[in-house]
Amino acid sequence: MTQKALLDALLDDVSAHPGAIVVFDLDDTLFSTADRHLRILEEFAAAIQTQDARAAGVLRGISREQLMYSVADTAKAHGLDEKLAKDLRGFWFARFFKNPYLLEDSIIPGGPEYAAEVIARGGRSFYMTGRDEGMREGTEASLLRHKFPEPDGKKAALVLKPRFDEPDFEFKVEALRRIGEQGPVVGSFENEPKHVNLFIERFPKGKHFLLDTKHSGRPVTPHSATLHIKDFRR
Ligand SMILES: [Mg+2]
């Protein structure tokens, strides 16, 4: 089946079940985090410019396509040493989850229109993310800026982790239990195979999609029922 046929089939399921819920992950599912990574690399390069101009130049030369899931791995793949990679990782960690940086993100093509179409068909779009409550402000601003349906808690809702240090997987298990009580979950979108498998296990009748963007590299094989797409264009 083509990407269009797969995405259309889920919309047909939404039409057939009034109030149906479609769950969307955010990072590397609806949003590309590449520009957020690049901004932090640029700021780190500026910070080390006087002490190590060569490394700063290498970091500035890294393109979107060369980014790996871990910023330390990106640095090491470009020949930078352990010490610098470790410093960069600390610098990155202090910024990547902060509200102003969330506004750097671009969208995975077709996402805003697809989330809106779910609602137009009588369904609900739930954004369920490993971002925590401290990131609500930047997340809401980013959703609005890119014209996603506004998460008003009715047709669209934003479900964030209560605490930053809560593991994403455990949070999603519990959040899905609560979302499942609010209506039929007919589909989901994720970039982590482990999370897609959780959706399939929890809602076996739904259509569950894995975005071919990037993931944490955990060695998890996607369930055979997983539907694969590149983005949300139909
Ligand atoms: Mg994600």
- The string of DSSP codes covering 54-76 is HHHHHHHT--GGG--SSHHHHHH
CATH topology for 3-33+106-229?
Rossmann fold (3.40.50)
CA–centroid distance, residue 89 to ligand 1 (Å): 19
pLDDT of residue 216: 72
CA–centroid distance, residue 29 to ligand 1 (Å): 6
CA–centroid distance, residue 102 to ligand 1 (Å): 14
Any idea what the Cα angle at residue 180 is, between residues 176 and 184, rounded to 5°? 135
CA–centroid distance, residue 189 to ligand 1 (Å): 9
Rg (the chain; Cα; Å): 19
As a residue count, the chain comes to 234
CA–centroid distance, residue 128 to ligand 1 (Å): 9
CB 33 within 8 A of CB 130: no
pLDDT of residue 189: 98
What one-character DSSP code corresponds to residue 148? Answer: P
Beta bridge partners of 228: 210
CA–centroid distance, residue 8 to ligand 1 (Å): 22
CA–centroid distance, residue 33 to ligand 1 (Å): 9
CA–centroid distance, residue 32 to ligand 1 (Å): 9
CB 200 within 8 A of CB 221: no
| Among 224, 229, 146, 157, residue whose Cα is nearest residue 191 | 229
CA–centroid distance, residue 192 to ligand 1 (Å): 6
CA–centroid distance, residue 154 to ligand 1 (Å): 23
CA–centroid distance, residue 53 to ligand 1 (Å): 34
CA–centroid distance, residue 195 to ligand 1 (Å): 9
CA–centroid distance, residue 58 to ligand 1 (Å): 28
CB 189 within 8 A of CB 222: no
- The identity of residue 183, as a single letter, is G
DSSP assignment of 85-140: HHHHHHHHHHHHTSHHHHTT-EEPTTHHHHHHHHHHTT-EEEEEEEEEGGGHHHHH
Phi and psi (nearest 5°) for 24? -120, 125
CA–centroid distance, residue 223 to ligand 1 (Å): 17
If residue 111 lies in a helix (H) or strand (E), which one and from where to where? helix 111-120
Tens digit of pLDDT per residue, the chain (234 long)? 999 999 999 999 999 999 999 999 999 999 999 999 999 999 999 999 999 999 999 999 999 999 998 999 999 999 999 999 999 999 999 999 999 999 999 999 999 999 999 999 999 999 999 999 999 999 999 999 999 999 999 999 999 999 999 999 999 999 999 999 999 999 999 999 999 999 999 999 999 999 988 777 677 899 999 999 999 999
Q: 91 exposed, middle or buried (CB, 10 Å; 0-12, 13-18, 19+)? A: middle
- The identity of residue 231, as a single letter, is D
Any idea what the Cα angle at residue 10 is, between residues 8 and 12, rounded to 5°? 70
Residue burial 112-147, b: 16+ Cβ < 10 Å; e: rest: bebbbbbbebebbbbbbbbbbeebeebbbebbeeee
**Tokens 């690049």 found at:** 38
**Tokens 């259309």 found at:** 8
CA distance 146 to 107: 7
CA–centroid distance, residue 206 to ligand 1 (Å): 19
